[in-house]
Amino acid sequence: MAKSHPARSADALFEPATAGALQLTNRIVMAPLTRNRAGPDLVPSDLAAEYYSQRATAGLIIAEATQISAQAQGYADTPGVYSDAQVAGWRAVTDAVHAKGGKIVLQVWHTGRVSHTLFQKDGQAPVGPSGIRAATKTFVAGQGFVDVSEPRALRLDEIPGIVDDFRHAARRAIEAGFDGVELHGAHGYLLDAFLRDGTNDRTDAYGGSIANRARLILEAAKAVADEIGADRVGVRLSPVSPAGDSKDSDPQALFNHVADGLNPLGLAYLHVVEGATGGARDNEPFDYAALRDRFNGVWMVNNGYDRAMALAAIASGRADLVSFGRAFIANPDLVRRLREDAPLNELLGRDTLYGGGAHGYTDYPTLDAIAAVA
Ligand SMILES: Cc1cc2nc3c(=O)[nH]c(=O)nc-3n(C[C@H](O)[C@H](O)[C@H](O)COP(=O)(O)O)c2cc1C
């Protein structure tokens, strides 16, 4: 039977909350959002500090997916967190958010097989659990969206290096002033691709049984938790999302095992994308309450939430935190708009989402800015 979670007041969405070591001013989280605006050497854009600090009234910002190493890159102009210049770039972002009283963690990312030879050293193949090409696209400068390349399977002796890259990235994120990190375990990227029997056909200790397929994400989570403190680490999962050509024959058993394995670490939170990311919430049956029952920590939900859904999820106790993606792109003052039940700005088209400059990034108006010109 599902554990019961205590009901809260109707407007608890706007009340403070704690997630591990993170003290949040409300339960509204900015979801991680890739914007492909990094500058030379994959240093965060000069505009990133303004963009994120405009959104600092979120209880927590999860900064965009960020490469843990050069090999981890899969898209044009996505930032890294492994070089000194990247760390310095991120420092400007975290300082700006903290100056406005916000909290910000970094989503750390290895794209795995969702990459292209163009992003890899000497044009090598991207790496994945197996040599199975993803039926998905990536974004390449000058070419737009193109098919990802055929990956090569990571050798067993390379896997400790991947875990170490996650550990190192977490350390560097703390050096850059982040309040913590979120492991990107979703959307068909490296950690997720290892999890699933549709993308992992290894026959060593990292393939085959659920326990073997879950080994990498659990090792990475433990390494990062040991490095910076588990109470500053979250993990994102997308159990039934087809994003990144993810597929598995038994996601419920798989993710139940992952939750069981993460539980003893004492993480800050688990962040679960319900349904198909950015699409149907009921694309495949999945018992999220059963998954939550296995995890004794803060439960963050995402995907297609509007005000009413978020208020209900928090008030009923079904979730502890709700993250918003697209609404936060278009509404820097989303928290105020949700509190006041004010109308939301509409999201501009795809050409301003992935790449570009200030337009569609830092120029969405707040309610105050709209009132000033009215
Ligand atoms: C432009 C864009 C970029 C995204 N980048 C990321 C990312 O870097 N990491 C991630 O885990 N999810 C990413 N997502 C998924 C969002 O975090 C979120 O799960 C999705 O938008 C559904 O939430 P929403 O309905 O509140 O928008 C992205 C979505 C969009 C629209």
pLDDT tens, position by position, 114-166: 999 999 999 999 999 999 999 999 988 778 889 999 999 999 999 999 999 99
For the Cβ of 238 lying below 6 angstroms from any atom of ligand 1, the answer is no
For the Cβ of 324 lying below 6 angstroms from any atom of ligand 1, the answer is yes
Coil, strand or helix at 151: coil
Q: What tens digit of pLDDT does each residue of 341-362 get?
A: 999 999 998 889 999 999 999 9
- Distance between Cα 203 and ligand 1 center (Å): 33
- What's residue 4's pLDDT? 81
Sign of CA dihedral 229, 64, 193, 74: negative
Q: Where are the alpha helices (DSSP H) in 152-214?
A: 159-175, 190-195, 210-213
Q: What is the mean pLDDT of residues 322-344?
A: 98
For a pLDDT cut of 90, what percent of the chain falls above it?
A: 95
Spot the catalytic one: 52, 75, 189, 361.
Answer: 189
Phi, psi of 361 (to 5 degrees): -125, -65
Coil, strand or helix at 118: helix
- pLDDT at 2 exceeding the cut of 80: no
- pLDDT at 217 exceeding the cut of 90: yes
Length of the chain: 374
Give the tokens for residue 96: 């700006």
Could you give the CA distance from residue 121 to residue 141 in angstroms, rounded to a whole number? 17
Mean pLDDT, the chain, integer: 97
Amino acid at 116: H
Could you give the CA distance from residue 114 to residue 119 in angstroms, rounded to a whole number? 11
- Distance between Cα 112 and ligand 1 center (Å): 18
- pLDDT at 105 exceeding the cut of 90: yes
Q: Where are the alpha helices (DSSP H) in 29-185?
A: 48-54, 84-99, 159-175
For the Cβ of 186 lying below 6 angstroms from any atom of ligand 1, the answer is yes
In testing the pocket of ligand 1, which one of 30, 33, 321, 364 has its CB within 8 Å of the most ligand atoms?
33
Nearest-CA residue for atom 10 of ligand 1: 32
Q: What CATH number does the domain located at 12-373 have?
A: 3.20.20.70
State the Cα angle at 355 between 119 and 152, rounded to 5°: 20
101 closest CA partner among 150, 169, 52, 148: 52
- Distance between Cα 373 and ligand 1 center (Å): 31
Phi, psi of 257 (to 5 degrees): -65, -40
Q: What tens digit of pLDDT does each residue of 44-77 get?
A: 999 999 999 999 999 999 999 999 999 999 999 9
- pLDDT at 1 exceeding the cut of 80: no
Asked if 17 and 27 touch (Cβ cutoff 8 Å), the reply is yes
- pLDDT at 289 exceeding the cut of 70: yes
Domain boundaries, the chain: 12-373
34 closest CA partner among 21, 44, 26: 44
